[in-house]
Amino acid sequence: MSEFNKAIDKLIVAIGDDYKAFNLRMEYGYDAERVDKFRNELSVKTGRKYAKILTDRSVWGFVQIEDDAKFKKGDILKALSLHQS
């Protein structure tokens, strides 16, 4: 497994951990099933320029695969929101 793929795997774990921490702070209470469902639905789709991090319903973000004129390999890019003002 390449160093890049190991880093992607670490990122996926960190995203799941952050979601769990967020869930623990919610007033409706922690829901282990919801957290497990979120973790299990995280996936990666690798293209030419980016690795796309996906949740069940949306794009979490992108990771740059190789250096280019704007970004360096490993840079994490935010997905655009449809609801930006």
Total domain count, the chain: 1
Give the domain extent around 34: 3-78
Residue 85 maps to a domain:
no
Question: Per residue of the chain (85 residues), what is the pLDDT tens digit?
Answer: 799 999 999 999 999 999 999 988 988 778 899 999 999 999 999 999 999 999 988 999 999 999 999 999 999 999 887 655 5
| pLDDT, position 57 | 81
| pLDDT, position 83 | 59
Residue 71 maps to a domain:
yes
Residue 84 maps to a domain:
no
H or E, element range at 55: none
Buried b (16+ CB within 10 A) or exposed e, 27-66: eeeeeeeebeebbeebeeeeeeebbbbeeeeeebebbbbe
pTM for the structure as a whole: 0.84
Residue 39 maps to a domain:
yes
Measure the CA–CA gap between 85 and 23, rounded to whole angstroms.
26
